[in-house]
Amino acid sequence: MKSSHTPTKHAIPFGQNGNKRDIPLESKTGSGEASLSLGFPPETMVPKVSGGIPPSGKDFNGILNELSAMGRWANAGAGYPFDAAFANAVGGYPAGAKIPNVENSGFWLNTVDNNNNLDNPEVADDRLTGRVPAENYGIATLSGLVKADVTLTTLQSAKVRIVLTGELKANMAVIFPAWQTSWTVVNQCTGSGSLICRTKAGAGVVVPKGESREIIGDGSGLVPRIVNASTTVAGITQLSSAIDSDSETLAATPKAVKALADTLSSGRLLNIQSFTKSGIYTPTLGTRKIRVKCWGAGGGGAGTSTNGGATSGAGGDVEGLYVLPNIATIEVVVGSGGASVDGDVAANGGDGGASSIMALSITADGGGGGQSTGNLKGGKTSGPSGSIILIQGQGGMGSLASFSDGIGGAFFSSSGGVPHVGGPGECGGYPGGGGAGAFKSYENSAHASGRGADGLVIVEEYS
């Protein structure tokens, strides 16, 4: 047979408007009327002269009308809904029979020959009738879920997409029939409870809130269509933004990748800017943190008109690692070294200037200038929380005898000036060292004191 051999379809059955009789199951004996059980009875097959009764045209019209009506129904693609009485009369539906559902949105497929289960396939529980969904249109929506388990009707379970809504106040289950088929379950519920889809006695699949899962019925329980991924099995995996996890089942989000990249790239030294005098610090593009090293200036040594002179103190030092403030430019102050004193002049040395970055609340005081008596202390420091080094400058050592100079205070990473019998006192070592005191030698030669060293600010920039 070819597709071109399609027979003619008729819009009306045979004898639609003709004179006809409905064909009964049984006919009266001797009436000559046709019936479903006998067809045309024996008397219609006997000559009239021998007492026979001719077949009725009404019966012919009735029979052909009924048969052609069935053909027209089939031509229209229609079927017959489940009929328990009919099923019982024919000994059960045959395997492969397709029965329209009551909604006319799909079909039931009868899977057992001589199916003597007379339960309607559209039951309100998970009973198995030997009839399973074959083709179904639409979505089943269950709303108002709270905490009690819910059993899907077979009509609901026949849909391939199940949408669940409600506010779960406790864990609950949605019970599916133990069919061999598949569903997409969408969990739109809120609340604290979890939701699991399972059969009455078999395994199930958890569907997280706000997510959907494709699940398969294997005839006993439910399993996910796509299994959880692992290092050896391809499948579905949960996303995570953590960058400190050692999980082998979670997948990183772009947020996690960016955070990790930022972490790996941070701490890289971008640039170093040094300030030997006051100025403006402009951060290099990409700088996130800065390490600041700040030295105050040293004081100048004291002068004298007699033998032996006092000395000066060193500046302070503060260092720290700081998050770069959201400021386009930052003022940097670098202290100047304390002034020296000319030879044969009895005077105090100049105080060293403070170095500072006020935007970071950092200050390293300068050392005090040398005086005629006592050993002057070095400069102090201050810095915000996060400073990693705070060092006070060393105080100078005064004159030990009438024919000796005082030594300038040493500073962190530098030295104080030392005296010389035949020449002026040394200036403080850079950065921030205190200058040596003046000295008038026993030969009555006057010499100047040493100048304090200037301060210094270094900014190391890190990504």
Please check whether residue 64 lies inside any domain of the structure: no
| Together in a domain, 453 and 310 | yes
| Together in a domain, 212 and 355 | no
Average pLDDT, the chain: 86
**Rounded-to-integer distance, Cα 420 and Cα 427, Å:** 11
pLDDT band of residue 403 (cuts 50, 70, 90) is: low
| Together in a domain, 175 and 243 | no
Instruction: Give the pLDDT confidence score for residue 99 in this predicted structure.
Output: 93
| Together in a domain, 383 and 459 | yes
Secondary structure (3-state) at 132: strand
> Cα–Cα distances in Å, from 192 out to 163, 169, 171, 295?
18, 6, 8, 59
**Rounded-to-integer distance, Cα 447 and Cα 433, Å:** 20
Instruction: Give the pLDDT confidence score for residue 386 in this predicted structure.
Output: 60
Instruction: Give the pLDDT confidence score for residue 138 in this predicted structure.
Output: 94
Higher-scoring residue by pLDDT: 356, 309: 356
| Together in a domain, 432 and 302 | yes
CA-wise closest residue to 457 among 329, 352, 363, 340? 363
CA torsion angle for 237, 241, 244, 245 (degrees, to 10)? -20
Which CATH number goes with the domain that contains 191?
Answer: 2.60.120
The answer to which of 101-110, 177-186, 427-436 has the lowest mean pLDDT is 427-436
| Together in a domain, 243 and 319 | no
| Together in a domain, 273 and 180 | no
- Whether residue 439 is predicted with pLDDT greater than 80 in this model: the reply is no
Question: Which of 195, 224, 253 represents a domain boundary (last residue)?
Answer: 224
Count other Cβ atoms within 10 Å, centred on residue 182. 12
Please check whether residue 293 lies inside any domain of the structure: yes
The tally of domains found in the chain comes to 3
CA-wise closest residue to 418 among 323, 312, 320? 312
| Together in a domain, 323 and 409 | yes
Expressed as residue numbers, the domain containing 248 is 232-265
Question: Which of 224, 251, 277 represents a domain boundary (last residue)?
Answer: 224
| Together in a domain, 252 and 278 | no
**Rounded-to-integer distance, Cα 149 and Cα 196, Å:** 10
pLDDT band of residue 240 (cuts 50, 70, 90) is: confident
Please check whether residue 100 lies inside any domain of the structure: no
- Whether residue 126 is predicted with pLDDT greater than 70 in this model: the reply is yes
| Together in a domain, 243 and 348 | no
pLDDT in tens, 151-184: 999 999 999 999 999 999 999 999 999 999 999 9
**Rounded-to-integer distance, Cα 454 and Cα 317, Å:** 13
CB 348 within 8 A of CB 376: no
421-455 burial, b for 16+ CB within 10 Å, e for fewer? eeebbbbbbbbbbbbbbbbbeeeeebbbbbbbbbb
| Together in a domain, 151 and 196 | yes
pLDDT in tens, 292-328: 999 999 888 888 776 655 667 677 788 888 888 888 8
Beta strands in 190-332 (DSSP E): 190-191, 195-199, 204-206, 212-217, 222-224, 238-240, 250-252, 269-275, 279-281, 289-295, 317-323, 330-332
- Whether residue 404 is predicted with pLDDT greater than 60 in this model: the reply is no
The answer to which of 197-201, 225-229, 448-452 has the lowest mean pLDDT is 225-229
Please check whether residue 246 lies inside any domain of the structure: yes
| Together in a domain, 385 and 313 | yes
